[in-house]
Amino acid sequence: MDIYKAPAIEEIITGNPYVGRGIITGASPSGKAVTAYFIMGRSANSRNRIFAVKGDEVFTEPFDASKVEDPSLIIYAAIRSLNNTLVVTNGNQTDTIIDGLKEGKSFSEALKSRCFEPDGPNWTPRISSAVTFEKGSFSYEMSILKSIDAAGSDCARFTFSYPSLKGLGHFIHTYVTDGNPIPTFQGEPERLSIPEDIDAFTNSIWNGLDENNKISLYVRYTDPATGKYTCRLINKNK
């Protein structure tokens, strides 16, 4: 077993009906900071969403506002930035992290006030990533806050820190696969290879996700030396 193997994203997700929401962070072969976030959904309420770009930020929004049942866990700022840090999460903990950074807290310290989502029996994990740019390069952290047991009695917290390594990324997602209740993601973020071409990477992710359950995808490639970025956005609901 090669623990350092970095497969392509399609090798990881193709054929899996439900990995939930997912964050990918890493470096392209030329050293660009790569961030991707996608959402999937099984219920009509979850599927009634799109990504909306507002300036440098990305939000989830209802596709048809008249059909929204409960906005509390599905409408949020997914991507925000503060100074030299880019934050990506699967919920409103994006704002918690940004507020914590403003107060001088670290990424993990800011998340101590949060836990998994209150949607038993699934207890959906909160997953987050923060990319910190410095001196023309970057490093990144990833976090998962998950229930410690089936009853949702307490929260287990895991933070992973990575230097940027050209061509390598890490992938964390909310669920292992479909189920009832849905099995929570296990272990470390998965290693994967990052291609140089943003369109190739975007297509690989989108085409690998289950056709029935995928909803939206956003991908950003950032030059760490200049801060300039290129992005791609796909919404199944158009």
How confident is the model over 31-35, as a mean pLDDT? 98
- One-character DSSP codes across 84-126: TEEEEESSTHHHHHHHHHHTT--HHHHGGG--S-S-TTS-PPE
Kindly report which listed range (62-71, 94-103, 196-205) carries the lowest average pLDDT score: 62-71
Rounded Cα gap, residues 95 and 76, in angstroms: 9
56-61, long-range: CB within 8 Å, 24+ apart, which pairs?
56/81, 57/81, 58/218, 60/216
Query: Predicted confidence band at 37 (pLDDT cuts at 50, 70, 90)?
Result: very high
CA-to-CA distance for 181 and 165, rounded, in angstroms?
Answer: 36
Cβ count within 10 A of residue 97 = 27
175: DSSP letter: B
Instruction: Express each pLDDT in 172-227 by its tens digit.
Output: 999 999 999 999 999 999 999 999 999 999 999 999 999 999 999 999 999 999 99
| CA quadruple 146, 88, 8, 194: dihedral sign | negative
- Phi, psi of 174, deg, nearest 5: -75, -35
Task: Specify the pLDDT at position 43.
Answer: 86
Band of pLDDT at residue 61, cut at 50, 70 and 90: very high
Higher pLDDT residue, 70 or 202?
Answer: 202
Flag whether pLDDT at 73 surpasses 80: no
Residue 70 has pLDDT above 90, yes or no: no
Is CATH 2.130.10.10 correct for 21-235? no
Task: Kindly indicate the confidence band of residue 169, based on its pLDDT and cuts at 50, 70 and 90.
Answer: very high
Mean pLDDT of the chain: 96
- Integer Cα distance of 109 and 89 in angstroms: 15
Residues 38/174, Cβ–Cβ less than 8 Å: no
Kindly tell me if the per-residue pLDDT of 75 is higher than 90: no
Q: Which of 2-11, 18-27, 134-143 has the lowest mean pLDDT?
A: 2-11
123: left (phi over 0), alpha (psi -120 to 50) or beta: left
- Spell out where 16-102 has E strands: 22-27, 33-40, 49-54, 57-62, 77-82, 85-89
Q: What is the pLDDT of residues 110-166, one digit of tens each?
A: 999 999 999 999 999 999 999 999 999 999 999 999 999 999 999 999 999 999 999
Provide the pLDDT for residue 59.
96
What pLDDT is stored for residue 114 in this prediction? 97
User: If pLDDT is split at 50, 70 and 90, which confidence band does 44 have?
Assistant: confident
pLDDT at 2 over 90: no
